[in-house]
Amino acid sequence: MQKRCGACAFCREEHPNSFVTAGNCANPTLTGVNVDGALAEYVAADVGGTVLLPDGISYEDAAPTVCAGYTTWAGIRRADARPGARVAVVGLGGIGHFAIQFAKAVGYHVIAVKHELARELGADDVVTDGAALKEIGGADVLLHTSSSHATAIDAMTGLRPWGKLVLMGLAEDEMILPALPLTTNSYQVIGSAHNGMEYLAEALDIVARGQVKPMVELFPLERVNDAYRKAAAGEARFKAVVTL
């Protein structure tokens, strides 16, 4: 998302520039969608869609942070959980591997659902499903980064009263939430879509300080098709980055 049109009804409400703007502005400028993408040595971009990289972060680490990392950190900030809260992460991919590390970096007790690799990323516990999550004390926040809504709905079995479900992954299957536990437990459902450039600056700073390390596969520009293929097939661990 580079810039908004500034003239439509949504833009006149003066919301911060974010992915929400991309979905609601009448005529947004979107890199790789209606203007040229960034697979080049130089690219023209509106200043409103840029951010200053802090010292200590490489371009290879910054690339996934400004998308997947930004999404993840914005969702954690929007959840606004108390210090020391129990945070469960569903899914371990481009977003999920950020979610575990960011949540751990700010002091939450992190629980991963199904993925043993999560322990290497800092997860305190790994459980098999929502019932197992409930058995070990449940979670105050559930970060849904999976490509399957069914997995997240199952994990809600372990969501504590007044818990928050944060949607980050773009799963294609239909999501139907049971009304009774949603109401009787006073759950909140939150969508995470960047939500402000200040969150991006914070995410980059955390990575620059070495508290979070993106896991990337590097591809030279002449292998860009290989990068797209692996990313589309879900085979990259965990983000494909093209270098020049």
In whole numbers, what is the pLDDT of the chain averaged over residues? Answer: 92
Architecture field, domain 9-62+197-243: Alpha-Beta Complex (3.90)
33 CA to centre of own chain: 20
Q: How far is residue 109's CA from residue 85's CA, in Å, rounded to a whole number?
A: 6
pLDDT tens for each residue of 148-196 = 888 889 999 999 999 999 998 877 788 888 899 999 999 999 988 787 8
Per-domain boundaries in the chain:
9-62+197-243, 81-191
- CATH annotation of 81-191: 3.40.50.720
Look at the block and give the residue holding tokens 């023209």. Answer: 44
Percent of the chain residues topping a pLDDT of 70: 100
pLDDT at 192: 84
pLDDT at 34: 87
From the DSSP assignment, how many helices (H) and strands (E) are in the chain? 10, 8
Question: What is the reported pTM?
Answer: 0.92
Whether residue 234 is predicted with pLDDT greater than 90 in this model: the reply is no
pLDDT at 169: 80
Would the CA dihedral through 169, 172, 173, 177 be positive or negative? positive
1, 120, 160 from 85: Cα distances, Å: 32, 20, 11
Transcribe 176-191 into DSSP letters. Answer: ---HHHHHHTT-EEEE
Whether residue 225 is predicted with pLDDT greater than 80 in this model: the reply is yes
Higher pLDDT: 42 or 84? It is: 84
- Phi and psi at residue 142, to the nearest 5°: -115, 115
pLDDT at 115: 76
Q: Among 141, 110, 114, 135, which residue's Cα sits nearest to residue 125? A: 110
DSSP 3-state assignment of 239?
strand
Let me know: does 163 contact 139? Beta carbons within 8 Å: yes
